[in-house]
A = this chain, B = another copy of it.
């Protein structure tokens, strides 16, 4: 596959080849302020080794303040391959993923993680490329009391951890409609609420509106014991306005559980969630699944190429970005992984005070401009050489 690179991660490659002095410059420019390495417990490292997943930890501290104590949170993000072949019985596939995730959450717990997020539609293969309704719709379940939510509630209580569980939701109370949903489960075990994918791709193999439509739930932010969190699901990361509204609603950490492949997407991966962290002065956690998924029946991709049974390699590379623009290295492009990052949420307001993006944002201007832009008779503001003079009377 053209997009399957030889390297395991950019950062590994830079560390290997670039000499010390230059490496420091390169890392400073490409990754921002140097992060602390978290000293993770040996038992967690052993768990990772025994169960064949990567584990990494970084610290993103803030400046000490006089009036506020630090607001320390450990977030965990998990990327993983599917466990069983896509032809296995649905329940077996889902149970195998539950088991895999339990191992990884166990390690996260040993690392003191407070809030964890799994990848998009984590209980299933990302089968939407097939355009087959059966059997894939059978993975859908209730956000409130489906087996995966129950499973996560147990984990949340056991580990005193907030869990974000992105699933294919079936809204049984409202016409059995499907949604691409993230369920937010409090560390008390309660379902705090849910949020749905706001922007639905019609690109490449994924016209996901074959299965589910755009969310009508707005941009909810969930107030947890460890800060205000939100979830921008997958393709929503391409839309700066979507990121903005989570910020306006007060989010301090926005998770972006995703499933993305390919040469078209990978160069964008390090840009978008990080730009959102900068523009909105909050933390972002970009999570991508990993591996190649093969399906029982062949399908075409609308690109003139012959039918095939997989749509390419999910390149992993999950990372966390801070309001000051610094970011962690990415997890592997090829392996399951757990990334643990210790944040101080005080950094959000500190960066807001420093850069002043919110203060200088001119929301009133854009509220008015957008209102004009959506009118049927909207005329773009274009200056032509032989047209009327530019209006500069203001």
Contacts and interface: CB of A to CB of B under 8 A. Distances in A.
A61 interface: no
A385 B223 contact: yes
A384 B223 contact: yes
Contact of A217 (B22, B214, B228, B394): B394
Interface stretch (A89-97, A260-268, A336-344): A260-268
A6 B25 contact: yes
Interface string A29-53: 1111100000000000000000000
B362 A392 contact: no
The complex is assembled from copies of this chain, and their number is 2
Contact of A249 (B186, B366, B380, B387): B380
Contacts of A274: 271
Contact of A367 (B22, B373, B381): B373
Interface string A70-111: 000000000000000000000000000000000000000000
A67 interface: no
A360 B190 contact: no
Q: Point out which of A29, A239, A326 has the most chain B C-beta atoms below 10 A from its C-beta.
A: A29
A345 interface: no
Contacts of A30: 10, 30, 267, 270
A369 interface: yes
A271 B326 CA distance: 11
The bracket for how many chain A residues form the interface is 35 or more
A219 B378 CA distance: 14
B390 A194 contact: yes
Contact of A362 (B198, B279, B384): B198
A271 B325 contact: yes
A222 B222 CA distance: 43
Nearest to A265: B325
Interface in A194-231: 194, 198-203, 214, 216-224, 228
Contact of A366 (B10, B245, B278): B245
A161 to B, nearest CB: 14
A219 B383 CA distance: 11
A223 B379 CA distance: 14
A312 interface: no
A240 interface: yes
Nearest to A243: B240
B263 A223 contact: no
Interface in A8-33: 10, 13-14, 17-19, 21-22, 25-26, 28-33
Contact of A223 (B28, B249, B383): B383
A370 interface: yes
Contact of A220 (B10, B367, B382): B382
Contacts of A250: 380, 382
A169 to B, nearest CB: 11
Interface in A361-375: 361-367, 369-371, 373-374
Interface stretch (A122-130, A131-139, A288-296, A349-357): A349-357
Given A202-B356, A240-B275, A241-B361, 6 more contacts: A17-B18, A29-B269, A186-B385, A218-B381, A238-B355, A249-B381
Closest CB pairs A-B (n = 5): A240-B240, A32-B267, A275-B275, A5-B25, A367-B370
10 contacts: A184-B383, A188-B385, A194-B392, A217-B390, A223-B383, A223-B385, A239-B360, A240-B240, A264-B354, A267-B326
